[in-house]
A and B are shown apart, each in its own frame.
Chain A
């Protein structure tokens, strides 16, 4: 059967439109479901109080702290490593055996399910290195998880920098490191930032890898070796163990709002940075 040009055009348009619309619909539906159940329960006290009766009452303050601390630890470890690897791959080496091996490794890592990372973290950091269920174990495990994302986005960002920038920097007497520090990194930063933000999203939303490495204690952490519970794990435990569906939704709503706030602040900072880098637009 042969369709006319007019009909294929119609069909393509419909398929594309349905695709876009269902994506949007699913997203809105999930958000609506969680926010509708959760937001009415949000009080200031909910954010600032500790959980009581296993989380049946009280708030979620220690889990907010736990989420933030774990994410920060993971980023502090993964960002320099990831960006350093990307710089090495693009500026310090040509395509060869080593760069192909690194790329193959990161590609494989990014496809590994998070429970495997959790198991690795449990065996290596928690047991073998004796760090126990702790912020450090969890942060290191998360770092290994988000590393491939950061390497990949940083590499793309560096790749996108016009070659003429490098040429100019070298032609003006720049060393390789000066070129990286003054031209490559500042211009790749927005892209690197995107990768870091993806890492934040993954850290904040992660459960499987963390529950095996950072534990699930909802006491306030006192050091890097304290176990913590993140908001996502709190949500999981509240819902899974039937403790309180209301509190689970409230936690979920808080988590979604937190991600929204982080993204908004991050975008604003990025915007400011780009403007500052290029100099004032108007005299």
Chain B
């Protein structure tokens, strides 16, 4: 890759490009010189043990790291040739384009409907029929509609953990983003919900670019198109899912995938 490439002439198939991107919390290095391209309409899985920088990478793309005191970065992240750290970037717009689902279910203490309508309402459109349409579509895509359609006005805090997480996915889908980032979205879910989430992810990638931190290695092999393996802030290797799982180039990747450490 050309060192002074600035995102211009980014290939059409790529949605996100990281260029020599490093991230720090105070003096602690979280990500080191990551260069990576993530393709449009694919599921990219970020594999790696805890504290390897996966969440930091996700939060850097939608700049949630801005909220953390002492966080800084070097290098670039491009989204459709747009540097996300450029001064002219409007953060609420960036974050609507790059939706994020967190590892723990985080329903706001509002009704189910109001949780899903939270993002669309922030745009200023609060027309009821329009909101109802969006909320239903989002809840259907997150495989939650049938369970909650009778009680949209009841508290989201009353839902089970798995339902809450699907609610959070619906909440992001209601933004109609371009990219969806999911940080271990299935960690609190039962196998049936996990299967339905995975199925809907496969469906969703037709419209969206998806970044997924899977909650185990098998999940990556089931749903991902490409995989990046991270270790202590380094991107060890990146490639198509078959290649990573059958012919890893790096010994550490092979050890991680075969379960020698985790």
Contact = CB atoms under 8 A, between A and B. Distances in A.
**Chain A bound to chain B:** yes
Contact of A173 (B108, B122, B156, B157): B122
Interface in A53-97: 94
B106 interface: yes
Given A164-B102, A178-B122, A171 B110 contact: no
A166 B118 CA distance: 13
A68 B62 CA distance: 50
B161 interface: no
Nearest to B95: A173
B108 A168 contact: yes
B155 A280 contact: yes
Contact of B99 (A164, A171, A183): A171
Contact of B106 (A165, A281, A283): A165
Contacts of A169: 108, 118
Nearest to A278: B155
Contact of A279 (B62, B69, B154, B172): B154
Contacts of B154: 279-283
B93 A173 contact: yes
A206 B171 CA distance: 49
A interface bracket (residues with beta carbon within 8 Å of B): 20 to 34
Contact of A167 (B64, B96, B123, B172): B64
B92 interface: yes
A187 interface: yes
B123 A283 contact: no
Given A173-B123, A187-B109, A168 B102 contact: yes
Given A171-B99, A172-B175, A280 B153 contact: yes
A169 B150 CA distance: 26
B106 A164 contact: yes
Nearest to A283: B151
Given A164-B106, A281-B155, A174 B111 contact: no
Contacts of B102: 164, 167-168, 171
A164 B104 contact: yes
B151 to A, nearest CB: 3
A52 B219 CA distance: 84
Contact of B108 (A165, A178, A281, A282): A165
B220 to A, nearest CB: 23
B106 A170 contact: no
Contacts of B110: 277-279
A278 B158 CA distance: 9
B interface bracket (residues with beta carbon within 8 Å of A): 35 or more
B64 A171 contact: yes
B30 to A, nearest CB: 17
A100 to B, nearest CB: 16
B188 interface: no
Contacts of A166: 67
Given A280-B154, A281-B154, A283-B154, A171 B118 contact: no
Interface string B45-82: 00000000000000000101001010000000000000
B185 to A, nearest CB: 14
B172 A172 contact: yes
B67 A279 contact: no
A175 B157 CA distance: 24
Given A164-B102, A173-B92, A182-B118, A278 B109 contact: yes
Given A164-B106, A280-B155, A283-B150, A170 B111 contact: no
Contacts of A278: 109-111, 155, 157
Nearest to A95: B69
B114 interface: yes
Given A166-B67, A167-B67, A172 B118 contact: yes
The 3 closest A-B pairs by CB, nearest first: A279-B111, A283-B151, A279-B155
27 contacts: A164-B102, A167-B102, A170-B91, A170-B95, A172-B99, A172-B118, A172-B119, A172-B122, A172-B171, A173-B92, A173-B119, A173-B123, A174-B92, A174-B122, A175-B92, A175-B122, A182-B122, A183-B108, A187-B109, A277-B110, A278-B110, A278-B155, A279-B110, A279-B155, A280-B155, A281-B158, A283-B154
Given A173-B92, A173-B96, 11 more contacts: A164-B102, A168-B108, A171-B102, A172-B95, A172-B118, A173-B95, A173-B122, A175-B91, A277-B109, A278-B110, A280-B151
